[in-house]
Amino acid sequence: MIRTTLLISLLFFVFDVNAISIYNQNVTDKITQKRYKVVEIIIKGNKITKEVIILRELAIHNGQSIELEELDQLILESRNNLTNINLFNFITIEYELIDTEITIKIEVIERWYVWPYPIFEVSERNFNIWWEDFKSSDYKDFSRLNYGVFINIENFRGLNELLMIKLRRGFKEHYLFRYENLYINKKKTLGLNSQIELFRRKKTYYNTLNNELQYFPNFPVSNNNTYTSKDLVLNFELIYRNNLKTKHKLNLNYFKSIIDPEISSLNPDYLSNNLNIGSFYKIGYQLIHENRDNNNYPLKGYYINLEIARNISGKSPINHYEINSHLEKHIQVFPRWFAGSSFRSRIASSGQQAYFSHQTFGFEDYVRGYEYYVIDGEDYYLSKTAIKYCIIREKNLDIPYIKKKQFNKAHFSVYTSVFSDIGYANNQTNFTENSLTNSILWGKGISIEYITYYNKMLRIEYSINKLGEKGLFLHFSSPFGVNK
């Protein structure tokens, strides 16, 4: 059954990718087309963004010779590329034709780039999990709350660099520094990402039992500075972007965890080394090909993300290869009707791994309808399919009394969808205590999706799983998961 599902998903993907790539021409009926030369590209509205960042994303360049029938497609491709760097709220690309010369005119409305977010959030995998726990405490237990500040500076220096600083206290402390897209050559094809993170937890989940996380200690914690686990994560990425759509990444990672001795007693497989400190390294190569119209809420195009990685043991015996994949395909079926499908997988060369070193379903990846559960596995497969109908096409609106261009013009759209997810987690470690591992997980339902500017989204889903459980779930991100 799993192989059949995998085959169908891959065939759907390959068929549509090939279909979109075919460009039919009738050479015998075609006379030589007149060519036009791009003599000027005019850019307006970029008060912060450097012009070189915009020019780099264009499928059109100065001096280019173009047949007129190609121009609309090149403009569409350029607009999609500019949309996917997430720097602008609105993008307009037009052209002026004089004799055999073309002038390209681009106007953008930039976003607001400096966001000092106050943090006041629930420390759970999703909102529904937290609400159930809060309700069971008679609405009195506020211990699982986090607070702090998150400074996010997008388009730093006007070069599409990202600077992130996070200081979060509370139930799960998180300290983060990240710098993205630091390009180190003039052509901006070679770049660096770097990140350091520190987590400190007063309560730590140490195992999965009956498809639910088990925490130590298992009673409400006080507000003292006693921590049951501390994690350090270092990440370094070398990026090579050789064309507009394709990226290559070389990833170097280091993970270190220090835990309370009681956790080692409760689950000897947590670090798999009979110690209270564990660590390992990870080296990986990643190929990313982006060909969607919008990487936050795609309706057309496809996406390929393939990674091969080598885990190297430190203080924990984590020493295996793994292959990760994330494929997406989106098509317009009829006016207002769209279909989308994604496929994710992880295949590891080792059957048994330390508990702290991997996550499967219930965190970033999940099968809809199973949000209350955690399903562990060394390998996994996840297929998501949705058929969408556009209730309200994208509408632009002016917001009165606000002078800033970054905020006084907004847009929104509303979709409804019918979806079906199929997942499978292969677990050779603690599968006897968790009924949802090593079994096909099927979830289906309907959703309402509200999309607005600044990549904000609200999804309200009604799901049914194979256990016959039904529920209403609230999400704030794309149903196809995190795109890296």
Structural domain containing residue 56:
33-110
Rounded to 10 degrees, the C-alpha dihedral 300/328/239/246 comes to -50
What is the CATH number for 203? Answer: 2.40.160.50
* Helices marked H in 397-464: 405-408
Residue 28 in domain: no
The counts of H helices and E strands in the chain are: 6, 22
- Looking at the structure, tell me whether residues 163 and 56 fall in a common domain: no
The b/e string for 76-110 (b: 16+ C-beta within 10 A; e otherwise) is ebbbbbbbbbbbbbbbebebeeeeeebebebebbb
- How many Å apart are CA 371 and CA 129, to the nearest integer? 8
Residue 277 in domain: yes
Residue 17 in domain: no
pLDDT of residue 196: 98
φ, ψ for residue 259 (rounded to 5)? -130, 165
Residue 3 in domain: no
Residue 328: closest CA among 397, 382, 271: 382
Residue 269 in domain: yes
- Looking at the structure, tell me whether residues 134 and 67 fall in a common domain: no
Could you give the 3-state DSSP secondary structure of residue 374? coil
pLDDT of residue 226: 83
- Looking at the structure, tell me whether residues 99 and 141 fall in a common domain: no
pLDDT of residue 7: 44
Question: Where in 49-129 does DSSP place strands (E)?
Answer: 65-67, 88-98, 101-110, 114-122
pLDDT of residue 462: 97
First CA to last CA distance, the chain: 29
Give the list of residues 6+ apart from residue 147 with CB closer than 8 angstroms, or none.
118, 119, 120, 121, 168, 169, 170
pLDDT of residue 11: 42
- Looking at the structure, tell me whether residues 158 and 183 fall in a common domain: yes
CB contact at 8 A, 454 and 86:
no
- Looking at the structure, tell me whether residues 96 and 230 fall in a common domain: no
pLDDT in tens, the chain (484 residues): 444 444 444 444 444 444 434 334 443 344 346 899 999 999 999 999 999 999 999 999 999 999 988 999 999 999 999 999 999 999 999 999 999 999 999 999 999 999 888 887 766 666 676 566 667 666 656 666 788 999 999 999 999 999 999 999 887 899 999 999 999 998 889 999 999 999 999 889 999 999 999 989 876 666 567 899 999 999 999 999 988 899 999 999 999 999 999 999 999 999 999 899 999 999 999 999 999 999 999 999 999 999 999 999 999 999 999 999 999 999 999 999 999 999 999 999 987 789 988 889 988 889 999 998 999 999 999 999 999 999 999 998 888 888 888 888 889 999 999 999 999 999 877 677 899 999 999 999 999 999 998 888 999 999 999 999 999 998 988 888 655 4
Task: Please give the DSSP secondary-structure letter assigned to residue 137.
Answer: T
Could you give the 3-state DSSP secondary structure of residue 76? helix
Residue 10 in domain: no
Residue 2 in domain: no
Give the list of residues 6+ apart from residue 350 with CB closer than 8 angstroms, or none.
319, 320, 378
- How many Å apart are CA 99 and CA 142, to the nearest integer? 70
The DSSP bridge pattern shows strands 35-44 and 101-110 to be parallel
159 class by beta-carbon count within 10 Å (0-12 exposed, 13-18 middle, 19+ buried): middle
- How many Å apart are CA 428 and CA 472, to the nearest integer? 32
Give the list of residues 6+ apart from residue 199 with CB closer than 8 angstroms, or none.
172, 173, 174, 229, 230, 231, 233
CB contact at 8 A, 50 and 159:
yes
- How many Å apart are CA 342 and CA 469, to the nearest integer? 24
Tokens of 316: 């924990």
- How many Å apart are CA 285 and CA 272, to the nearest integer? 26
Number of domains the chain contains: 2
What is the CATH number for 73? Answer: 3.10.20.310
- Looking at the structure, tell me whether residues 281 and 370 fall in a common domain: yes
CB contact at 8 A, 263 and 216:
yes
Tokens of 147: 């607070």
Residue 78 in domain: yes
Give the list of residues 6+ apart from residue 374 with CB closer than 8 angstroms, or none.
125, 208, 211, 212, 213, 360, 361, 362, 363
- Looking at the structure, tell me whether residues 68 and 170 fall in a common domain: no
Looking at 48, 81, 110, the residue that finishes a domain is 110
- Looking at the structure, tell me whether residues 47 and 194 fall in a common domain: no
- How many Å apart are CA 281 and CA 314, to the nearest integer? 7
- Looking at the structure, tell me whether residues 409 and 448 fall in a common domain: yes
pLDDT of residue 406: 84
Instruction: Give pTM, 2 decimals.
Output: 0.84
Looking at 82, 110, 138, the residue that finishes a domain is 110
- Looking at the structure, tell me whether residues 418 and 295 fall in a common domain: yes
- Looking at the structure, tell me whether residues 61 and 84 fall in a common domain: yes
Maximum CA extent, the chain: 80
Tokens of 183: 């390009």
118 bridge partner residues:
149
Looking at 110, 140, 174, the residue that finishes a domain is 110
- Looking at the structure, tell me whether residues 139 and 106 fall in a common domain: no
